Amino acid sequence: MPLYLPILITLFLAALSPWWVARHRPSFIIAGGLLQFGMAAHFITLLASSATGGEVVRAHAPNLFPTRLIEWSFAGNSWSLLFAVMITGIGLLVFLFAQGYFGSSAKGHRFYASLLTFEAAMLGVVLADHAVLLFLFWELTSVSSFFLIAYNHLDKEARWNALQALLVTGIGGVAMLAGFLILGNEWGTFSIESWRTLALDGTSVPFAALCLILLGAITKSALFPFFFWLPNAMSAPAPVSSYLHSATMVKAGIFLIGALHPLFQTSQPIMITIVVLGALTSVTGLVLGWIQTDTKKILAYTTLSVLGMLALLMGVGSPDALKVAVLVMVGHACYKAGLFMAAGAVDKATGCRDIRKLGGLRQVLPVLGIASLVLALSKSGFPPLLGFVGKEYAYKLGFAGPGSAYALLAFLFIINVGLMALALRVACTPFRKDRPVGGPDPAETKALSPLIMVGPVVLAVAGIVLGILAPWLLSPVVSAVVSHIHGQNVVLSLKLWHGFQPALFLSIATLAAGWWIYRSTSVSGAQNLITRFLGGFEGAYAASYAGLMSGSAWLSGKLQSGDLRAYLRCFFTGVLLLVGYMWWSSGFGFVSLPEDAGPIPWVEWMLLPIIAVFLWLIVTTYSRILALLAFAVIGFGIAFLFARLGAPDLALTLLLVETFTIVLFVHIIRGLPPLRTIVPLRGRLLDIVIASGVGIMMTLLVLKTQVVQAQPAISSTLTEWSYAMAKGKNVVNVILVDFRALDTLGEITVVALAAVGVNMLWKKGNPSTTKP
């Protein structure tokens, strides 16, 4: 099965979903669930074969327009397949969870279309081997996430947050594209695999390209200083948060850093930047997460913290650090998606997300409570859960490193303690024994669909199973992934029990400290100096957004005056200046009549006075209809000239167009006020200067084209080809419908759209028009 087939099928299902969901919801859920289950199983097989030394899976889709700039080439290496497994596996759980969460809500069809589009786009991001293709999918994830965040589109705040996420990640994406283009230009290929090989072979990488690509990665993964969009994106419904904002989209930046790791590794400043930004993000997440009262917001800030840690580990870049990064990432995808689902389920059952008011739910939602606890313990790094494996290796990394690694160790310790306290706070508080005053009554909780439970329970079980079986299941995968990222073969083995080593004692200390902090603190929700300072980054976004808005309003007010005369003056003056400059810089090349011009026949001379007389009429008359007719006469004159000079097609077309233009203009003229002089004399003198200038310029240009021939004329080649290749003797027509048929297709599309546009504008401007 070609690698891109899952993407296509998912997109197809997304296109079908609005119709299908509205007709028969259960069959849609079953079909979608089966599809995602199949895809997950498929990618797991691929990942397994890639982990056991299999070849990289490649696929090329046929290209409609062969060009180097975009190729439908895909490659499934261990790193991208690991992501594909997470995307489809968690995608399946989220898909089922969403059905339980929304029930049979009427807006569901919109949701599934966006969700599946997102899933396909995300698969595209990780599987694309062509950089520009990756960019396309990257932007598609931004766009589909915009619709998902703004799911409650009547909520003004949700719309603002969705726009914020779109703009921040979109700007980063464009920067990334610029970086890709620089690299592609420099190296002559857009294949990411080739880039990696080139970088590993020691080719120097353009620094600007690296910076731009990094900008794309840090905006997408909400790293410092662009962290603010992620917590705000929590206005999305819970299924979206558990999918996009924990397991998949926000990890796209990490994915990119991993995929292009050999490139980044060539530049020390870039790696240090990644480390510093990662550390700052981690701390920011904890500090801001500490004061949150909304369960989903707390989870979002801890996600930031983990993303920061991942970036930091990627930036350190040694095989051991990468190993920790991969383990932490997989663990995080499992427990964070599960915790988001659990928070969503609690919200659904009680209608409350305020951590200060929740409590006493352990009797009514026992299964969810246990699943939450397991997920939170995995997050805290409790043995033998998956989170423990990652944390243990992180500490070992710190102990193994030279001097400065103690800073890393201290940092990891603080982050882990903070994460554990927050994890317990968000996961265990709703299920504590006593109920706070004023909170929702556990007796009045709504019954939850069993589908809601599937996600948290499966992910909790996965955390246990993967943790215990890590040495056997994860070792080969992690080895393969780390080898891929690093670019050299690395063989790693994972162990659960490392013996009594410093890392173990630090782990125990972490658990104790985390537990103690969870028990002894409560959340107030009050801001302090540091959180206000960090909030300033969002303020900077809001200010630049407002500045952009008012700035462009001012600018378009200045430029788009709505006065046709002003536009024409600007346009023609600009053209005059540009052409004049070119002419001046080429040393005023002398213009002469072509030597073989020959005498001009008298019939063509006759046109001159006719055109002159009617021009005079146009300029002086105060009757619009007269001016129009005079224009048409000039047009007919030119058509006559075309016919004389051997362009019958042009002449015919011009005749018809002139005729129809009169008819159409007559309709418009009826509604216009009579012509009168509104431009003062000085303005008219300026107009005369501009008009004469343009006239002289055009005359000179026409004369110049007769003598200048920069390249061999294409017309003779086309004439030669016309009958031989396109079986047509009329070259003009052959060009239109064969040689340049794509242009024509574009033109008739524009023509059709223009007519529809005029139709709609006219109706809008004349509401009284009630033509059937």
Structure tokens at 51: 């982990």
| Binding window for other proteins (CB under 8 A); candidates: 367-375, 376-384, 673-681, 736-744 | 736-744
Report the residue number, 472 or 660, with the smaller CB distance to other proteins: 660
Q: Number of residues in contact with other proteins, rule: CB under 8 A?
A: 47
The stretch near other proteins (CB under 8 A) out of 14-22, 555-563, 651-659, 677-685 is: 651-659
Which of 56, 610, 686, 737 is the binder for other proteins (CB under 8 A)? 737
Note whether 751 binds other proteins by CB under 8 A: yes
Rounded least distance, CB 582 to other proteins, Å: 33
Residues 6+ apart with CB under 8 A from 225: 280, 537
Does residue number 748 form part of the binding site for other proteins (CB under 8 A)? yes
With binding defined as CB under 8 A, does residue 266 bind other proteins?
no
Per CB under 8 A, does 764 bind other proteins? Answer: no
Residue 625 touches other proteins, criterion: CB under 8 A: no
- Rounded CA separation 357/190 (Å): 53
Binding range to other proteins, per CB under 8 A, among 20-28, 59-67, 305-313, 368-376: 59-67
**Which uninterrupted H or E stretch holds 59?**
strand 57-60
Q: Is 749 in the site for other proteins (CB under 8 A)?
A: yes
If you search the block for the tokens 């995808």, which residue do you land on?
333
The reply on whether position 732 binds other proteins by CB under 8 A is: yes
- Pairing, β 57-60 against β 73-76: antiparallel
Least distance from C-beta 234 to other proteins, angstroms? 43
The reply to whether 662 sits near other proteins by the rule CB under 8 A is no
Closer CB to other proteins, 619 or 751, in the complex: 751
626 touching other proteins, by CB under 8 A = no
Report the distance separating Cα 568 and Cα 155, nearest Å: 44
Closest among 442, 414, 236, 255 to 340, alpha carbons compared:
236
User: Any contact of residue 171 with other proteins (CB under 8 A)?
Assistant: no
- The 15-54 site mask, x for binding other proteins (CB under 8 A), equals ----------------------------------------
Q: Does 673 bind other proteins (CB under 8 A)?
A: no
Q: How far is CA 677 from CA 177, 684, 725, in A?
A: 52, 10, 56
Q: Tell me how far, at minimum, the Cβ of 125 lies from other proteins, in Å.
A: 26
Per rule CB under 8 A, is residue 68 in the interface with other proteins? no
* Closest approach of other proteins to the CB of residue 769, in Å: 5
Segment interacting with other proteins, rule: CB under 8 A, options 348-356, 359-367, 613-621, 731-739: 731-739
3-state SS assignment for residue 130: strand
CB of 607 to other proteins, least distance (A): 21
Question: 354 or 649, CB closer to other proteins?
Answer: 649
Residue with tokens 């004061």: 291
Residue 267, both tokens: 């530049």
Q: Which of residues 700-729 bind other proteins (CB under 8 A)?
A: 726-729
Closest to 541 measured CA to CA, from 229, 268, 144: 229
| Shortest Å distance, C-beta 746 to other proteins | 10
391-450: contacts with other proteins (CB under 8 A): none
The angle at the Cα of 396, spanning 390 to 402, to the nearest 5 degrees, equals: 135
User: Which is nearest to 398 in space by CA: 541, 270, 510?
Assistant: 510
Cβ 625 to other proteins shortest distance, Å: 14
412: closest CA among 514, 487, 493, 339? 514
| Nearest-approach distance from CB 387 to other proteins, in angstroms | 51
**Distance between CA atoms of residues 331 and 325, nearest Å:** 10
Question: What is the C-alpha separation between 750 and 746, in angstroms, rounded?
Answer: 6
Joined together, the tokens standing for residue 80 give 């991208």
Q: Which of 15, 509, 578, 754 binds other proteins (CB under 8 A)?
A: 754
Integer CA distances (angstroms), 667 to 450, 670, 672, 770, in order: 66, 6, 10, 17
Which residue lies nearer to other proteins by CB, 407 or 748? 748
The full DSSP string for 141-196 is HHHHHHHHHTTSTT-HHHHHHHHHHHHHHHHHHHHHHHHHHHHHHHHS--BHHHHH
Work out whether 204 is an interface residue with other proteins (CB under 8 A): no
Nearest to 98 by CA among 377, 337, 442: 337
Quote the least distance from Cβ 714 to other proteins, whole Å: 19
Element (H, E) at 76: strand 73-76
Q: Which residues bind other proteins (CB under 8 A)?
A: 64-66, 648-649, 652-653, 656-657, 659-660, 663-664, 667-668, 670-671, 726-730, 732-734, 736-738, 741-742, 744-745, 748-749, 751-752, 754-756, 758-759, 762-763, 766, 768-769, 771
